[in-house]
Amino acid sequence: MEQEEQRIPKPKWLKVKLPTGENYRKVRSLVDEHKLHTICESGNCPNMGECWGEGTATFMILGNICTRSCGFCAVSTGKPLEADPFEPARVANSVKLMGVKHAVITSVDRDDLADGGSEIWVKTVELVRAKSPGTTMETLIPDFAGNWENLQRIIDVAPDIVSHNLETVRRLTKQVRIQAKYDRSLEVLFRLKKGGMRTKSGVMLGLGETRDEVLETMEDLRSVQVDVLTLGQYLQPTRKHLPVQEFVTPEQFKEYEEIGLKMGYRFVESGPLVRSSYHAEKHLF
């Protein structure tokens, strides 16, 4: 069946406010002026207007071209440019200019680099910390292709929260996260926790998973002691990406939230428009 035939209309609860306001324009100007990449834009995030209106943004480092071709992601795929050694300083300067209290930093996958981009990650965290010592940080990291030496660099620099998204249930992983592995992601989160990190992970719903599979995934993440869980609705970025199989109701998201809290998560953000960095400042503890 063609993807076009599978498209189903968005329900009323997925309406998003258009970006407006003075704070939004200020962030827009800073992002453009300093040539920053934000996952807000590259990932077509539905909360960009709300978050930028609050004066916050999720910065994406290591360029804006990913070496992986996940079926859900709007970020461009291809051969990336060389890593920019000045990028960490630009991000740190912008965090300071924006007066960000809690910075979220993510990156594309850089499987083309021997260090997986981990050294740029470290420099970014160190420079943000040096220029804005009162700013807390969440780093949303890739799996570094299972290179644990590269992962250890993140642990050593000790961000306040380290997030790595599982994205989907075990059965759909090969289809949704083509070059990733379900168990490898769980091991990333386990190693982070062993290293003393506060950990977080996110899962998209509406890709064809069952309720039992969602609960199994939530249990798997708790088995490696993940502290914070985000659950949100998958939205098809373009017609070339995986189609939405189901729009999960707000009531179902609420049930997952209640179940997650009973499982022992410190925080559960669960709702149609929830994304990895949504309300990230609330997840400090």
pLDDT of residue 210: 98
pLDDT of residue 273: 87
Q: What burial class does residue 248 get, using C-beta atoms within 10 Å of its C-beta: 0-12 exposed, 13-18 middle, 19+ buried? A: buried
pLDDT of residue 285: 64
Average pLDDT over the chain reads 85
Q: Which residues pair with 203 in a beta bridge?
A: 167, 231
Contact 164, 151 (CB under 8 A): no
Q: DSSP letters of the chain?
A: --HHHH--PPPGGG--PPP-SHHHHHHHHHHHHTT-EEHHHHTT-TTHHHHHHTT--EEEES-SEES---TT--SEES-PPPP-TTHHHHHHHHHHHHT-SEEEEEE---TTSTTTTHHHHHHHHHHHHHH-TT-EEEEE---GGG-HHHHHHHHHH--SEEE---BS-GGGHHHHSTT--HHHHHHHHHHHHHTT--EEEEEEE-SS--HHHHHHHHHHHHHTT--EEEEEE---SSTTSPPP-----HHHHHHHHHHHHHHT-SEEEESTT--TTTTGGGG--
- Secondary-structure class of domain 16-283 per CATH: alpha beta
Query: Tokens 């461009």 appear where?
Result: 76
Domain extent listing, the chain: 16-283
Residues with Cβ < 8 Å from 133, sequence gap 6 or more? none
pLDDT tens sequence across 1-41: 334 445 777 887 777 665 566 666 776 777 777 666 665 65
Query: Tokens 């017609």 appear where?
Result: 239
Low pLDDT (below 50) residues in the chain: 1-5
pTM given for the model: 0.86
